[in-house]
Structure formats: structure tokens, C-alpha cells
Amino acid sequence: MSQRPFDLAGIADFASQRLVTIADRATSLAKGVTLFAAVGGVLAYAVGMFVFPPSSRVFWAIAGIVVCGAPLLAILAAVRRLRRVRRTVPQTAAELRSVMDDKAMLTALTELIDRNEGSERTTPLVKLGSELNNLRKASASHRDVLTNAWQSITALTTLPGLAALATIGTIALFAFSAIAVVVRLLLGT
């Protein structure tokens, strides 16, 4: 565990760096899910073009983009949010320093920096995201002041849901592809 700051400004700076550490780890996961969703979407779209009769292909060409692109769009939104966390570290730290007089904020930030950095690398991201919920709750009343910090916290706490949506959606697309190919082969049309 690195040396913890004990002054209020140091707590805010250290907490914003901790958010970046978590975001960097989350970005790696999100990139993998993005690749998975892209492959699943392209495959399902191509299968749809193959299995649907020519009279339905125009419909599939339009509807397929929406259906096959939804999981990819969900995770791309998460990746975009996560990238912003690193870019706004100085602003996030300054915003956090400005609300250190709020006891709930101070408690939530102290909990964040008290985490063991070594275990942070092995703790599942879903658990880290849920642990950030205290910080999200404490900062909710300061959203007008904590614009960058709020967006960073939101990026980290919504990642598990967006990643799950993308993963489940992509698995559904793979299932559609397999079923559609089997049906097409059985019908032989």
C-alpha cells in the first residue's frame, strides 16, 4: 500500500488517482467486451443477410443494424465514459477538494483511499463498482459542483451493467445466428 496522504487536499488527490487506477483496469475489460460485441454483431448481421429470403433482406438490412449494433453501442458508451476519467484527473481532484467539508464525502473518499492497492488489482470489477456506490451516494447532492467527479464515478458504477448488457446481448446474437443457420439448413431454402 502506498503512503496515504492525511491532509484534505491530499485525500482528494489520492482519491482521484484511485478512480483512474480503477478506470484503467475497467477499460481493459471493456475493450475485450467491445471486441466480443463487435464480432457477435457482425456475425449475426451477416447470418441474417444469409438466412432471410431476398424479400426480407431490405428489412433486415435496416433492423439488423439496430439489433446487432445495440450490444456494441452499450459497451462503446462505457468505454467513452471510462476514457474521460483519466483526462479529467486534475479537475476531479479540484472538485473533490471543494466538498471535503461534507462529512459523507470525506467518509466515502477515506473508504476509497483506505483500500489496499494490491487487492484492488485482484478484486472483481463488479465488486469495486458496488463499493463505489457509497461515494456515488455521497456525491449525488454535490452534482452541480462535482461535474467531472460525478461523471467519473458514474462511469465506474455503470460499467458492470453496460458490460453485462453487451455480453448478454452478444450471446443472444450468437444464439440467433446458430438457430437461424440450423433452421435455414433444415428448411433447405
pLDDT at 1 > cutoff 50: no
Q: pTM for the full model?
A: 0.81
Length of the chain: 189
pLDDT at 84 > cutoff 70: yes
pLDDT at 122 > cutoff 70: no
- C-alpha to C-alpha distance for 5 and 3, rounded to whole angstroms: 7
Max Cα–Cα distance, the chain, nearest Å: 73
Within 8 A by CB and 6+ apart from 148, the residues are 88, 91, 92, 95
Report DSSP state, residue 6.
-
Q: Give the pLDDT of residue 60.
A: 92
Q: Give the pLDDT of residue 69.
A: 95
Span 83-97, average pLDDT = 90
Radius of gyration of the chain (CA): 21
- C-alpha to C-alpha distance for 34 and 56, rounded to whole angstroms: 29
Q: List the domain boundaries for the chain.
A: 8-182
Answer whether 162's CB lies under 8 Å from 77's CB: yes
